[in-house]
Structure 1
Amino acid sequence: MDNKVVTTILGAAALTGSAFAGEVMTPVEETGAIFKAKQKETVEVRFNGRLQMQYDALQGERKESGVETDLNSTNHFYFRRLFFGAKVKLQNGWYGETVFDFAGDENPEVAFDKAYIGYKTNDAFDLKLGFVKVPWGYEETSSSSSIPTIERSAANRFFADDLDFAARHTGVHVGGDLGGGFSYATSLTNSAQGEGSRLGGDAAADNDIAAFGRLQWEANDFLVGADYGHQWNNLVTGDNMQAWTAYATYDVAGFNILGEYFGAGMADAGDSTGYAVRVSYRYDKWEPVYRWSYLENDEFEIDTDELIRRAPVTKVTGPDSEIQSHYFGLNYHHSKAVKFMAGYEHAWAENGAKDQKDMIGGFRARVQLLW
């Protein structure tokens, strides 16, 4: 194969997200795009990105002791996610991936979304060393590019965003297929969430460990699973914390149905119980979706801005506080790479004494481009 053909193949590989594994990647004296892997062991390189442009219009109202007060509103356009990533495979079973998010709340801010070194010997053993999502929560570990709602449920966000329990941790992650439809995943990580490349503060304050585990069974478009996690020091509650979730999802005649249960024991902060049910229906390129979610805390406060993303900042405190949310949405799948989403969410939170009630409602819209 001559240099001109090699240049064409490698240039196309760089643009389409895959590299040609059958030719030696050497530089050539031709104009145009040239791709060269530094290491001879490299057999594939893939580039990818995710852009999510979003609009939020949310309003709130508080009723306390019979008095109604308007809360601050949210009304703006912004980039929800700006991902750029690269994944490499070597010929000896090793691989790696880095994904950066340029859509931080404080500009300019670049954050790790994912960064790990991997090694896979067979389908039963896939090792990742680094910063990824731990196996806890079905909706949480589903990519935002594929879930039919614009934001994840209030019950899910309580564990991932309010308590900093689930989501991304640095450590050792192992998973694989066990046969017969069964699969597993485990993680032994830093207890502190989000520590990607350096300690978030004093080392003595952040040296605790967390463990997570998952077992799933899948057959004939039906999946059922359970996850468990334990933090020896949760930095939000300041104590030991354990949490569990069980879920099932079913695809039938265009419908996708998801049900998930959440539970937690947070020592002096009490227990927590949550539920989420989501139903979507795909008809050609259209996809209506409905989701109901509920969360009740024994002692821990309800932060509406954490559980309903970018909602007005307000807190509901006191024993047996709860939040409930309904989401109605409609998605249009222009192609596999382009999707338009719109949805209305109405939520309310109240304390156990029923003398304080906060109501949040509003519209969201998003356009998504994958490449």
Structure 2
Amino acid sequence: MNLKAIAILLSIFFGGSCVALHGADQKLIDLLVEKGLLTQAEADTISQQVPAADKSLVDLLVNKGHLTQVEADTLDEPNARQVDATSGQAPKIFVSPKSKMVTSLKFSGRIQAQYDNYDGVGSGESDREHFYFRRIFLGAHASLGDHWGGDVVMDFADGNAFLDGASAWYQVSDALRIDAGQLKVPFGLEETTSSSKIKAIERSAMNRQFAETIKFNARHTGIFAKGKLENGLSYGLAYANAGQNNNSKASSLKSGTYGYEQEAQGWWGRLRYDGSKDSLGYFGGIEYGSMPMGGIYEGGDFSAYNLFGNLSFGKLNLGGEYMYGEAEISGSANQEHAGYMIQTSYDLDGSWELVYRFSNVNGADDTVNAKEIIRRANVGDDTFDEMDQHYIGVNYLFQGHDTKLMLGYEINDLEDTSGDGGTDVDANGMRARLQILF
């Protein structure tokens, strides 16, 4: 054997700082042991440090006559590795990304199987009893060094692929991260809390009025910034397209109560403070945003602010938020929308959790949309002036949020007090959800 070749080989394996090599495949290591080029002890050390074969090293060994081309070709085949499930150690799965600059690559998933049993809303409407998938998320999250990265999360629950979120980002420091893509704008405590961690099965009436009926907050495409400052302060900013989910095919999007101007942007901002003292934890903040309206409302803006807060003391948690928004109507009186949510939960023993939430939302005549707020119910006349919603639920956390069963009952009182002959309606229903995260 050429001593110079051996020296080069060993320097590659044990002196990785001198050569930009991304690793050796386990098959290659085993083959080198078989040929006597490495000892088993050296191979064990290498296999713990490096996960993937480097083509330049393989080509060098073929050229030197230490490997045949057939042996080199077999190194590209997947190598299944068995893991002892009883060992208590999580299996390590090695993935070779296309970019050699990737330093971290993670995959994520969320499955929410749901059952709804809901009264029909309005005279003559049938009840609804249905099993379905509320969410099926698959995501990929990459880091390229200490500063650059990207995330993509898709939802396949309704039979079509929906872009839940995607962005390319640059992390300057803990005080500043910049994202370009489609994300949720910083508005709404419930809305910006992950659906995997909310305590009620569906978000509140107030939240859904602003996010689903008016389509003011939730997902927008643009530039985002966020960071943690000193003394418990944090912030979030967004400058993004006015239309919800407006990332390419704007003409096919649902426009909400006041539409949106396709070639215009809105902005949203949040300032938050987190603190604790002894066994008391708390946070609170304020959010504000403004978005250009479209269609017959073009030329005006919809602007809103949100106050939110939360207290946790031992096993007891209390949270709430208040939203107020106003639409500028040219040649007519502005239209106002307001609502609030109060939620309390109690952890019984680390697994069982009791939840109660009350929410109220009111708006201009016939602008509270029951069909958007009461998800999946059969709704007749969907326009009301005010709505009260009670939610009573119990959650069982088998493995924290990773494996969770939720059961809840909703009571909705819808009031139509305008002079259009509308009547008040009650709509109640039960929901159940099983969640798996991975």
Establish whether TM, by shorter chain, passes 0.5: yes
The 1:236–1:38 alpha-carbon spacing in structure 2 relative to 1, beyond 3 Å, is: farther
CA RMSD of superposed structures (Å): 2.6
In the alignment, the residues of structure 2 paired with residue 21 and residue 314 of structure 1 have an alpha-carbon distance, to the nearest angstrom, of 63
Report what 1:103 is aligned to. 157
User: The residue matched to 2:126 in structure 1 has which SS?
Assistant: strand
Report what 1:289 is aligned to. 355
Matches within 5 A, 1:129-144: 129-144=180-195
User: Does 2:80 correspond to 1:32?
Assistant: yes
In the alignment, the residues of structure 2 paired with residue 199 and residue 123 of structure 1 have an alpha-carbon distance, to the nearest angstrom, of 34
The 1:145–1:21 alpha-carbon spacing in structure 2 relative to 1, beyond 3 Å, is: farther
User: Does 2:302 correspond to 1:241?
Assistant: yes
Cα displacement (A) at 1:31: 2.4
In the alignment, the residues of structure 1 paired with residue 195 and residue 430 of structure 2 have an alpha-carbon distance, to the nearest angstrom, of 18
TM-score, normalization by structure 1? 0.87
Cα displacement (A) at 1:311: 2.0
In the alignment, the residues of structure 1 paired with residue 48 and residue 325 of structure 2 have an alpha-carbon distance, to the nearest angstrom, of 48
Report what 1:351 is aligned to. 416
Cα displacement (A) at 1:267: 2.1
User: Does 2:58 correspond to 1:58?
Assistant: no
In the alignment, the residues of structure 1 paired with residue 156 and residue 293 of structure 2 have an alpha-carbon distance, to the nearest angstrom, of 30
The 1:81–1:202 alpha-carbon spacing in structure 2 relative to 1, beyond 3 Å, is: closer
Identify which of 248, 253, 256 aligns with 2:317.
Answer: 256
CA contact (8 A) 1:95 1:118 kept: yes
Name the count of aligned residue pairs: 348
Matches within 5 A, 1:153-302: 153-196=204-247, 198-201=248-251, 206-220=262-276, 221-233=281-293, 239-268=300-329, 270-284=335-349, 285-302=351-368
TM-score, normalization by structure 2? 0.74
The 1:365–1:234 alpha-carbon spacing in structure 2 relative to 1, beyond 3 Å, is: farther
User: The residue matched to 1:310 in structure 2 has which SS?
Assistant: coil
CA contact (8 A) 2:242 2:261 kept: no
Moved more, 251-260 or 139-148: 251-260
Cα displacement (A) at 1:324: 0.4
CA contact (8 A) 1:26 1:36 kept: no
User: The residue matched to 1:356 in structure 2 has which SS?
Assistant: coil
CA displacement, residues 341-365 of structure 1 (integer Å, 9 cap, x when unaligned): 0000010111225961111101000
Moved more, 325-334 or 33-42: 33-42
Cα displacement (A) at 1:21: 11
Report what 2:386 is aligned to. 322
Report what 2:397 is aligned to. 333
CA contact (8 A) 1:155 1:274 kept: yes
The 1:298–1:36 alpha-carbon spacing in structure 2 relative to 1, beyond 3 Å, is: same
Cα displacement (A) at 1:70: 3.9
User: Does 2:425 correspond to 1:361?
Assistant: no
CA displacement, residues 122-175 of structure 1 (integer Å, 9 cap, x when unaligned): 111111100000000000000010011000001000111111111000000001
CA displacement, residues 91-123 of structure 1 (integer Å, 9 cap, x when unaligned): 14101000000012xxx3111001000100111
Unaligned runs of 5+ in 2: 1-12, 14-23, 31-46, 55-74, 82-93, 254-259
The 1:234–1:42 alpha-carbon spacing in structure 2 relative to 1, beyond 3 Å, is: same
Whichever structure has more helix as a proportion of its residues is 2
In the alignment, the residues of structure 1 paired with residue 165 and residue 230 of structure 2 have an alpha-carbon distance, to the nearest angstrom, of 28
Letter of the 1:124 partner, please give it. Answer: A
Cα displacement (A) at 1:316: 5.6
In the alignment, the residues of structure 2 paired with residue 136 and residue 82 of structure 1 have an alpha-carbon distance, to the nearest angstrom, of 24
Query: Larger relative CO (CA 8 A, sep 6+): 1 or 2?
Result: 1
Cα displacement (A) at 1:71: 2.2
In the alignment, the residues of structure 2 paired with residue 265 and residue 5 of structure 1 have an alpha-carbon distance, to the nearest angstrom, of 65
Report what 2:25 is aligned to. 3
The 1:42–1:293 alpha-carbon spacing in structure 2 relative to 1, beyond 3 Å, is: same
Identical-residue share of aligned pairs (%): 32
The 1:234–1:333 alpha-carbon spacing in structure 2 relative to 1, beyond 3 Å, is: farther
Letter of the 1:166 partner, please give it. Answer: N
In the alignment, the residues of structure 2 paired with residue 202 and residue 325 of structure 1 have an alpha-carbon distance, to the nearest angstrom, of 32
User: The residue matched to 1:148 in structure 2 has which SS?
Assistant: coil
In the alignment, the residues of structure 2 paired with residue 218 and residue 74 of structure 1 have an alpha-carbon distance, to the nearest angstrom, of 42
CA contact (8 A) 2:365 2:418 kept: no
Letter of the 1:193 partner, please give it. Answer: Q
CA displacement, residues 253-304 of structure 1 (integer Å, 9 cap, x when unaligned): 1112111101000123610110100001112200010000001112352221
User: The residue matched to 1:261 in structure 2 has which SS?
Assistant: strand
Moved more, 299-308 or 309-318: 309-318
Identify which of 133, 136, 149 aligns with 1:82.
Answer: 136
Report what 2:147 is aligned to. 93
CA contact (8 A) 1:257 1:278 kept: yes
In the alignment, the residues of structure 1 paired with residue 382 and residue 151 of structure 2 have an alpha-carbon distance, to the nearest angstrom, of 41
CA contact (8 A) 1:127 1:174 kept: yes
Unaligned runs of 5+ in 1: 9-19, 63-68
CA contact (8 A) 1:60 1:359 kept: no
Whichever structure has more strand as a proportion of its residues is 1
Cα displacement (A) at 1:61: 5.0
In the alignment, the residues of structure 2 paired with residue 117 and residue 155 of structure 1 have an alpha-carbon distance, to the nearest angstrom, of 31
